[in-house]
Amino acid sequence: MGELRSALQQGLSVLDISSTSKQIDSLVELVEHLLKWNKAYNLTSIKDPGEVLSLHLLDSLAVLPHINQKNIIDVGTGPGFPGLPLAIMLPEVKFTLLDSNSKKIRFIRQVIHHLNIENVEVVHSRVEDFKGIEFDAVISRAFASISDMVILTRHLLSDGGVWLAMKGQSQKEVLDYHSIGVEKVVEIDLSIPNLKAERCLIKLQPC
């Protein structure tokens, strides 16, 4: 995994993200665990280490410079993206990772235990059934549409909170934001190292 470590360090440099040796080690081990578990549990269709680095780790971490909230829920996290890489890099931020897929939740719990990640809580639930807690931000890169994300997670957002929707640039939605009770704060183009596909981060808040 020496090549993976070097490629990760180069990618973080391109993204202008500083890191410690321990954080690099943890991110590399996250990739190793995902590839190992994927052989038995098919957690992701991406099987090449380099593609996992670009499409999961660096894609997740590209939003890091734009996060300033302290209590974030990653809804539909799948096998832990973007929540796990962000939690490794932002130990002062509390992350809740929510998904309804039991095998992916088991994987996340194993990674948290193995890497001793202390700022992550894991929730096995459908998003509409998880209630009673509010967050500074709701982040997701897995929802099919912004409108679904807003409608299904509105009860999770605290006063003054924001939605952070990670989207493909080529899949920008023509959406009447006010019709779903939100306004767009900002749309940020993201450039992912070694990835030609376009990405963006859309920040939204309630009207």
pLDDT at 124 over 60: yes
Structure tokens at 124: 């096995």
Q: What does residue 157 show for φ and ψ, rounded to 5 degrees? A: -95, 130
Range of the domain at 109: 2-206
Alpha carbon 40 to its chain centroid, in Å, reads 23
DSSP for residue 169: G
Q: Are 37 and 80 in contact (CB under 8 A)?
A: no
The pLDDT value recorded for residue 72 is 98
DSSP for residue 109: H
Rounded to whole angstroms, the Cα distance separating 201 from 145 reads 13
**Coil, helix or strand for 30?**
helix
The pLDDT value recorded for residue 173 is 57
Q: Are 73 and 135 in contact (CB under 8 A)?
A: yes
CA quadruple 81, 4, 8, 55: dihedral sign: negative
For the entire predicted model, the pTM comes to: 0.94
pLDDT, tens digit, 9 for 90 and up, residues 54-100 = 999 999 999 999 999 999 999 999 999 999 999 999 999 999 999 99
pLDDT at 191 over 80: yes
| CATH number of the domain bearing residue 141 | 3.40.50.150
Can you say whether residue 4 is alpha, beta or left, with left for phi > 0 and alpha for psi between -120 and 50 degrees?
A: alpha
pLDDT, tens digit, 9 for 90 and up, residues 147-184 = 999 999 999 999 999 999 999 864 455 678 888 999 98
Counted domains in the chain: 1
Structure tokens at 11: 């990618």
Can you say whether residue 80 is alpha, beta or left, with left for phi > 0 and alpha for psi between -120 and 50 degrees?
A: left
Pairing of strands 135-140, 120-124: unpaired
Rounded to whole angstroms, the Cα distance separating 7 from 98 reads 29
The pLDDT value recorded for residue 152 is 95
**Coil, helix or strand for 45?**
coil
pLDDT, tens digit, 9 for 90 and up, residues 44-57 = 988 888 899 999 99
**Coil, helix or strand for 148?**
helix
